[in-house]
Amino acid sequence: MAAPATSHFSLPGWKPGSRSGLARRGLMLVLSSPSGAGKTTLSRRLLAEDDRITMSVSVTTRAPRPGEVDGKDYFFVSKERFEELRDTGALLEHATVFSNLYGTPRQAVEDALSAGRDVLFDIDWQGTQQLDQSAEQDLVKVFLLPPTAEDLEKRLRTRAQDTDDVVRQRMSKASDEISHFTEYDYILINQDVEDSLAKLKAILQAERLKRRRLTGLAGFVKGLRDAL
């Protein structure tokens, strides 16, 4: 006998009320770019508009910029504390960027993923390579490019949070950073924030539908076929 029309809501693997429907593994969305291309801006917008993704808050030995909040933008730590975290395996990946140490706390990422949430990372190419080795299947790698070199410099200057020396240092590293674009799955030329955000959301939506992430799919399809 055919099952009642609503019975698929109780099929294994189907989460009632969830917009995506099927239970799935959380994914790890990485945003990398040369400094000033717009990672922080896009990350904030995405987090504000998508309640299924959590930011991975990195630890760093860099000094806070004006307005940056400890525990929200970064965990600002001493070099000694950073080394202790790194040496006790508390970091999922770590790298030196612009003479400062940066790393991703492991526990928060594992907790979010096991709760079925997605995690957003603003990390450089070195960290991305390390995540690729440990979590390739869960990783979605997006690289942002500035539309022009002039735009990049203007953005670094209008952010007005770094000294002239720091801006110069970041501009001179930009070409090296950009050379890693081939290691990424998606490229966004960040000319217009709204347009880039729409594209980033489209990437996320499509990646969430990848068959291999849908842990509830086999049970759902089995239930569906049994009912046919």
Ligand X SMILES: Nc1nc2c(ncn2[C@@H]2O[C@H](COP(=O)(O)OP(=O)(O)O)[C@@H](O)[C@H]2O)c(=O)[nH]1
Sole binder of ligand ADP in the list 13, 21, 26, 38 (CB under 6 A): 38
Annotated binding residue 7: no
* Dihedral sign (CA 200, 206, 211, 213): positive
Tell me whether residue 34 or residue 223 sits nearer to ligand ADP (CB atom). Answer: 34
Residue with token string 């729409």:
198
**To 5 degrees, how large is the angle CA 101–CA 103–CA 105?**
145
Residue 54 sits in the site that holds ligand ADP (CB under 6 A): no
| 40 marked as binding residue | yes
Is 28 in a helix, a strand, or coil?
strand
State the number of binding residues for ligand ADP (CB under 6 A).
15
37 is an annotated ligand-binding site residue = yes
Distance of closest approach, residue 92 Cβ to ligand X, in angstroms? 8
- Give the integer Cα–Cα distance in Å for 39 and 128: 14
Contact by Cβ (8 Å): 138, 113: yes
CB of 190 to ligand ADP, least distance (A): 5
For residue 109, the SS3 value is helix
- Choose from ligand ADP, ligand X, none: what does 103 bind? Cβ within 5-8 Å by kind: ligand X
Interface with ligand ADP, residue 166, by CB under 6 A: no
Q: Which residues bind ligand ADP (CB under 6 A)?
A: 33, 35-41, 155, 158-159, 190-193
